[in-house]
Structures are given as structure tokens and as C-alpha cells.
């Protein structure tokens, strides 16, 4: 998973940008590949990877190998229940939302909103269904995988994300590429 994330991370950083971001929280950040990429793109950015106790040592190893342990840290936490802290300029949810049901996503977005600085951005990288919920085919098929492998996860449409994000208090919701897998929401 690290090699796949590392390959995509630079593209996400380029699409999202680092302007104005001093503090990044990478929720469910796994190996830390995205936090590492964001930190490499901005020498003033400090990132924190939040993940389960079994994952944090893996992230720490990759962070140490990248020589970024002074600016990328780790924290043990559970994205389904924990509060995340305060004043983050950028929060990343990469490949997280499909594991959760709609109510869990709404709760997650509310907790993200509380953790953000005014004007902060929430970046969601996930599989996004077309309005028909039948395409792209591989995304629709992935929803079946989530049905089997999670308690309530699925893949969701842009409209569903927009509804949850505005309901959680975000003002601007933008899909970076109309056919892409990135949504950026800005806190009020």
C-alpha cells in the first residue's frame, strides 16, 4: 500500500497545493506517504499522521527513512471516535470514507471541521461514483467489496459528499477534477 500511495501522493500535493498550509493532519494516514509528500513540498509545513497503534510504527519508519521526523509526527488514534485537536490548516482523508457508512462520514466531517483553523481545507481522496451509482464500473464494483468487507462502507457520489460536507459546516466544496477522486472543502 505504501508504494501505491507514494506514487499518488505527489499528484495529490500538486492538485491541492500547499499555499497557506502550516499544519496538516493526515487522518488514517497509514504509512505516512501523503504527509511525507506534503512536507517535502513545503519546508514550513508540519504534518501529523493519526492512525491505529498497530500502524503508527510503520508510518514512523517511513518518516524516519525520509529524514522528516522533525516535521512529520505520529499519533495513535481512532478516526471513528476521537477528536482530532485544533487549528489544522489542512486535513487529509485518503481512502477513508469508503470504509464508513453515511452517518459515520457525517460525524467524521463534523469532527474534522472542529479541528480546523478558519479557512482550513479538508481534502478527501476516495472513489467517487457518478450520479447513477453504476459508473465508473470499477467504483460501483468496489462498493460491493465494501458491502462484504465492512459494517456499512460503500462508495459515494459527489452529491452525497457535498450534502455531508455542507451539513458539517463546510462552505465551499470543490471537486478538483470532474472525473477525478479529489474533493476539497473549506471551513467557514
What digits encode the pLDDT tens for the residues 10-41?
999 999 999 999 999 999 999 999 999 999 99
pLDDT of residue 105 exceeding 90 = yes
Bridging pattern class, strands 170-175 and 182-187 = antiparallel
What's the pLDDT band for 7 if we cut at 50, 70, 90? confident
How many alpha carbons lie under 13 Å from residue 52 in its C-beta half-sphere? 3
Give the pLDDT of residue 145: 92
**CA distance readout (Å), 176 to 48, 92, 183:** 24, 14, 6
Average pLDDT, integer, range 57-81: 98
pLDDT of residue 133 exceeding 90 = yes
Of 49, 141, 151, whose CA–CA distance to 99 is shortest?
A: 151
Peptide bond into 136 cis (omega under 30): yes
Entry pTM: 0.95
- C-alpha cell recorded at residue 174: 470543490
Residue with cell 506517504: 33
Is-contact 39 47, C-beta < 8 A?
A: yes
Give the pLDDT of residue 154: 96
β-strand partners of 45: none
Give the pLDDT of residue 6: 81
First to last CA, the chain: 34
Q: Is 171 exposed, middle or buried (0-12, 13-18, 19+ CB in 10 A)?
A: exposed
- CATH architecture, domain defined by 2-127+157-187: 3-Layer(aba) Sandwich (3.40)
Amino acid at each position: 500500500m505504501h508504494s501505491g500511495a507514494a506514487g499518488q501522493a505527489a499528484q495529490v500535493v500538486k492538485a491541492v497545493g500547499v499555499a497557506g498550509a502550516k499544519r496538516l493532519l493526515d487522518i488514517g494516514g497509514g504509512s505516512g506517504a501523503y504527509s511525507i509528500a506534503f512536507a517535502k513540498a513545503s519546508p514550513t509545513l508540519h504534518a501529523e499522521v493519526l492512525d491505529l497503534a498497530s500502524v503508527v510504527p510503520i508510518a514512523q519508519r517511513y518518516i524516519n527513512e525520509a529524514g522528516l521526523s522533525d516535521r512529520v509526527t505520529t499519533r495513535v488514534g481512532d478516526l471513528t471516535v476521537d477528536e482530532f485537536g485544533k487549528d489544522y490548516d489542512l486535513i487529509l482523508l485518503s481512502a477513508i470514507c469508503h470504509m464508513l457508512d453515511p452517518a459515520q462520514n457525517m460525524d467524521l466531517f463534523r469532527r474534522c471541521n472542529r479541528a480546523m483553523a478558519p479557512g482550513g481545507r479538508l481534502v478527501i481522496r476516495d472513489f467517487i461514483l457518478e450520479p447513477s451509482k453504476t459508473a465508473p464500473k470499477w467504483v460501483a464494483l468496489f462498493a460491493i467489496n465494501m458491502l462484504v468487507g465492512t459494517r456499512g462502507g460503500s462508495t459515494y457520489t459527489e452529491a452525497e459528499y457535498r450534502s455531508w460536507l455542507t451539513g458539517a459546516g463546510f462552505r465551499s466544496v470543490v471537486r478538483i477534477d470532474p472525473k477525478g477522486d479529489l474533493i476539497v472543502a473549506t471551513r467557514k
